[in-house]
Structure 1
Amino acid sequence: MASESHLYFVFLVDIEDSGRRWDRAKTVLNDDMNKAVAAALERVGLDLDDVPASDRGDGMLILLPSNLSPPILLRELIRGLNDALTDLGDERTSAFRMRLRAGLHWGNVSRKGEKWTGQAIDHLHELVDSDPARKELRAAEGAHMVFVVSESIYRGVVEGRHTGVDPAAYTRFDFVTKHLEERHGWLTIPEHPPVRGAARAPADEGGRPPRAGGGATAPGRNFVNNGTSSGMVIMGDVHGGNFGK
């Protein structure tokens, strides 16, 4: 029997270029990722140990209760992650320094034991893994993270101009999924202006935006299943998307 779905905020973090690090560095990066996420959640009154979270080493997916204040959640997740990454970066050499792609969406998620499914999870994977988000972070020297939000978060939260949430800090980006479906989202880089042109990567010969996570229309890695319609999360692993590339 299928489990009933419930509304959650879906929060995703992914360590940049972790696949290129050696084992010792991966261990340090995972520890630091957990510290940064825990610090961000503390700012909205949550304990990482008390919320559903899937940690697969080079990325983490967290489900957050839907009764949180959306503007406060968005503002404090961004500030908390960036502050934690700044502090952790001051303690690390370049070999152990971490940068993140992170994102926030909301929607229905079905939970059956340790398995989670839902289009909200799939769509957030697409956004965080998209080629424009990767390029924007890569081009932003000195930045600690890029934070992406879905169209619904942008329209429902960012455009409201709540305290500490500035629409001018966000740039729209467009891409095409593995299944040739056009998508877009919004991104911001704390304390850094958007890199002109990075978020709007060139279209392919047919005039389409770049695909999520690589493929024939854009450089980058392949996004397994691309999280478009059948992604599944099992505690400790994520099916429908890859982390840490």
Structure 2
Amino acid sequence: MNIFGDAAHGLPDRPGERAAGGPRRSQHCVLLAVDVAAFTDPARTDRVQLAIREALYDVVPGAFDDCPLGWDGCLHEDRGDGMLVVIPARMPTITVVDPLLDRLAERLRRHNRSASGPHAVRLRAAAHIGEVHHDAHGLAGTAVNHLFRLLDAPALKRALDDSGGELAFIASDYFYDSVVRHAEGTVDPAAFWPVTVEVKQTRARGWVHLPHSPAGTPALREAAAPARTAPPAPPAPAPGPGRPGGGIAFFGNVTVHGDVVAGDKIVRGDG
């Protein structure tokens, strides 16, 4: 499936888009990336890693074929311990969340029933929308970079580790605000919670979702909640008449009874 070629058919080249090998293409796309958790764990030898990649290419394309997306209708690129998938514009964007995430989780559970130890597969997934460039070497662009920053977010890794499930998902702020927040049917926007993504030069907000545990966990929700700060102290009373610095200063042991204050004090007069 040549998504970029089909989408750009009949359109004039943009300035600077023509390269030696022909015109480069760009398109506003829905992007999905998946990554195998702990792929480089020392317990995973080269042979185990190859078996995991085999499982990955069974689980993910199968999940796409289980829903209206269809694997052969998407553009995909291998990323070693994961993959990048471009969803065609003709597909409803919400399909990336519903039903794809549930299909992925189901297939992961099915695989892990017969896989033990280092052969078990757990995935992180991320979705974003943006302009993607396609040249002779593959997919590139700021949107692709942002997608993989989301995928590497510590908050997403923590969500997967703490939940004990097979799959953790994060949507970009733009994806959540444009798609998830307006979704109908079985998608509940309240089942996503905001997290801060700080990876390399990126600082952004993402929205985490656990398909097997939509409410998250108390620990995860607490970690994602805005920090609670003490209310600001009331302003100091304005000084009374007289020169600056006038008044009474107490030190040592001070006793207060209503409006009566007793203790050692220094009286600063007006002159």
Q: Which category of TM-score, normalised to the shorter sequence, fits these structures?
A: 0.7 to 0.9
CA–CA distance in structure 1, aligned partners of residues 200 and 80 of structure 2: 25
* 2:74 paired with 1:51: yes
Give runs of aligned pairs for residues 170-181 of structure 1, distance below 5 A.
170-179=192-201, 181=202
Task: Give me the whole-angstrom Cα distance separating, in 2, the residues matched to 1:145 and 1:73.
Answer: 14
Give the Cα separation in 2 of the matches to 1:202 and 1:169. Answer: 14
Counterpart Cα distance in 1 of 2:95 and 2:197: 28
**1:132 corresponds to:** 155
Aligned equivalents of 1:127, 1:100: Cα separation in 2: 14
Aligned partner of 2:166 in structure 1 is 144
Residue 16 (structure 1) aligned with residue 21 (structure 2): no
Q: Does 1:110 align with 2:148?
A: no
The residue number in structure 2 matching 1:86 is 109
Residues 197-212 of structure 1 aligned to structure 2 (within 5 Å)? 197-198=219-220, 200=223
Shift of 1:33: 1.0
- The answer to whether the aligner puts 1:185 opposite 2:206 as a matched pair is yes
Structure 2: gaps spanning 5 or more residues: 1-15, 18-23, 227-271
Larger Rg: 2
SS of alignment partner, residue 136 of structure 1: helix
Aligned to 2:51: 28
* Matched AA of 2:119: F
* 1:153-208 CA distance string (max 9 Å, x none): 111221124112111211111032322x42110011112232334364699xxxxx
8 Å CA contact retained: 2:48, 2:118: yes
1:37 corresponds to which of 52, 60, 65: 60
1:77 aligns with 2:100: yes
Which of 162, 165, 172 matches 2:187?
A: 165
19, 24, 27: which one aligns with 1:6:
27
Q: Deviations over 1:84-105 (max 9, x none)?
A: 1011111211221000000111
Identity %: 25
The answer on whether the counterparts of 2:25 and 2:134 sit within 8 Å (CA) in structure 1 is yes
SS in 1 for 2:40: helix
- Per-residue displacement from partner, 1:95-135 (whole Å, max 9, x unpaired)? 21000000111111111123221221111111110111111
Alignment coverage as a number of residue pairs? 201
CA distance in 2, matches of 1:69, 1:56: 25
Aligned with 2:89 (options 55, 66, 71)? 66
Moved over 4 A (4+): none
Maintained 8 Å contact 2:73/2:88: no
Contact 1:140 1:195 (C-alpha < 8 Å) held by counterparts: yes
**Residues 149, 84 of structure 1: CA spacing in aligned structure 2 closer, same or farther, 3 A cutoff?**
same
One-letter code of the match for 2:136?
G
2:115 corresponds to 1:99: no
Pairwise CA distance, 1:145: 0.7
Name which structure has the greater RCO, CA cutoff 8 Å, separation 6+.
1
**What is the TM-score when the length of structure 1 is the normalising length?**
0.75
Residues in 1 aligned to 2:211 and 2:70: alpha-carbon distance in whole angstroms: 24
**Aligned-residue offset at 1:72:** 2.6
CA distance in 1, matches of 2:198, 2:116: 36
User: Considering only aligned residues, what root-mean-square deviation do their CA atoms show, in Å?
Assistant: 2.0
Q: Which runs of 5+ in 1 are unaligned?
A: 204-245
